[in-house]
Each structure stands twice: as structure tokens, then as C-alpha cells.
Amino acid sequence: MTDPAEIAAANANPPVFDEAFRDKFAELIAWRRDVRRFKTDSVAPELIEQLLDLAQLAPSVGNSQPWRWISVDSAETRARIRANFLRCNEIAASAYQGERAALYAKLKLEGIDVAPRQFALFCDRTTAQGLGVGRQTMPEALDYSVVAMIETFWLAARTLGLGVGWVSILDPQAITTELDVPATWKFIAYLCVGWPVEHHVDPELVRHHWQDRTTAGRIVLSR
């Protein structure tokens, strides 16, 4: 929405989010999953465009919108990125021993070999947009802005029945080199997007007995 008249009309009539909407929103959050198992069915380009449009409404420090998208489409590039994952995952696996190592080896931690759409997300740390507001003392707020946008994209995808998987077991510098992006762009995330094979309200790492949810993040300290 960019037309001043439309914006003025919207501001004069803000939406009312009733209890039914709030309940559905809570349900949406509960059912957002980190998907690793995808169908091979294609995703219509117009759905991706719709999600990208919604993602632009995400919060960003100084209205900087520092996120930069790379659509990873070629089989050759995907194969190299998956090889990157396999190398990094082997190193990660070596940090565990015994039963925990055996359990780690069974975890499904990416869907690069199947997901129909894949994106690398970068933060443009030299963007002039926003004129530096809010990031003089905390320049990393630019990175946080990209993460906030990803969460917006993730939830919006879920409303369409699409799944998103965030692959973090990757060498960031190798990804930056592989995708031939400016050195000033910081790699933030690799996202796999597609139709889930299955739906679960419980996280995969809980379901496979790696880590239960706890109340650690619910504690609020007072000072």
C-alpha cells in the first residue's frame, strides 16, 4: 500500500483483531515447523511472489530492509551447497559421543536434495537505506532485521500450507563465494521451501528425543 489516500483511509479505520482471530494466530504460531521433509511438487511462482511481498512488511532497523534474496535454482549449485552441508555436518557430529552421537546421526537436518524452492538470505551491511538510524551503537541490528523478516516469511508460508526449513549447518564464507555475492553481504540463512510430506505440531527435535521444550526462555528477570 503506497497510495497516500489508501494509507489515510486505512489509518482512519484500523482493523479489529477479535478473539477468534487471536486464537487462529496462536494456532498458526504453534503449527510453524522447521520442515526437512518435502514433496517434490512445484510451488507456483505467484505464491512465492505473494510471500515476498508480505515479507517486505517485516520490521527492520531504521526501515533499512537490509535483506537480500538469492534464489538457488540450478541442480549443480544445490549439489555444491549440499556438499557444504555434509562437510559441516560431519564436523558437527564429531562433537558428540556415544548414544548422543548415534542419535545425532539419525536426525534429518536439511531438505536440500528435495525442496522445490531454495533461497539464501544475506544482510547488506553497507545499505544506505535508513541512513543509519538505530544501528550506530548496534550495527548487528541489521542482521536481526533479516531474522525478523524470515520469521514473517515463515509464518506467512504456513498460512498457505507451505513449509520452510532453515539450514544453518553451512560454511558461511563458502556460501558467499559459491553464490558470488558482494563480500559486504553477510550470510544469514539458507531456506528450503515446499509442500511438507507430513504435518506435526511438535518440533522434530522433540519428537526424536533430542531436546524437549523448556521454560528457560519464559523466565523474566527483574532489576
| pLDDT tens for the chain, residues 1 to 223 | 678 888 888 888 889 999 999 999 999 999 999 999 999 999 999 999 999 999 999 999 999 999 999 999 999 999 999 999 999 999 999 999 999 999 999 999 999 999 999 999 999 999 999 999 999 999 999 999 999 999 999 999 999 999 999 999 999 999 999 999 999 999 999 999 999 999 999 999 999 999 999 999 999 999 9
pTM of the model: 0.93
CB atoms < 10 A from the CB of 145, how many?
25
- Cell numbers describing residue 159: 498460512
Residue 12, pLDDT score: 86
Residue 7, pLDDT score: 84
Phi, psi at residue 123, to the nearest 5°?
-110, 125
Residue 11, pLDDT score: 87
Residue 1, pLDDT score: 65
* Radius of gyration in angstroms for the set of CA atoms belonging to the chain, rounded to a whole number: 19
- HEC states along the chain? CCCHHHHHHHHHCCCCCCHHHHHHHHHHHHCCCECCCECCCCCCHHHHHHHHHHHCCCCCHHHCCCEEEEECCCHHHHHHHHHHHHHHHHHHHCCCCHHHHHHHHHCCCCCCCCCCEEEEEEEECCCCCCCCCCCCCCCCHHHHHHHHHHHHHHHHHHHCCCEEEEECCCCHHHHHHHCCCCCCEEEEEEEEEECECCCCCCCHHHHCCCCCCCCHHHCCCCC
The class level of CATH for 33-214 reads alpha beta
Phi-psi category of residue 43: left, alpha or beta, with phi > 0 → left and psi -120 to 50 → alpha: beta
- Cell numbers describing residue 8: 489515510
Residue 6, pLDDT score: 85
Residue 4, pLDDT score: 84
| Cα–Cα nearest to 54, from 130, 143, 122, 150 | 150
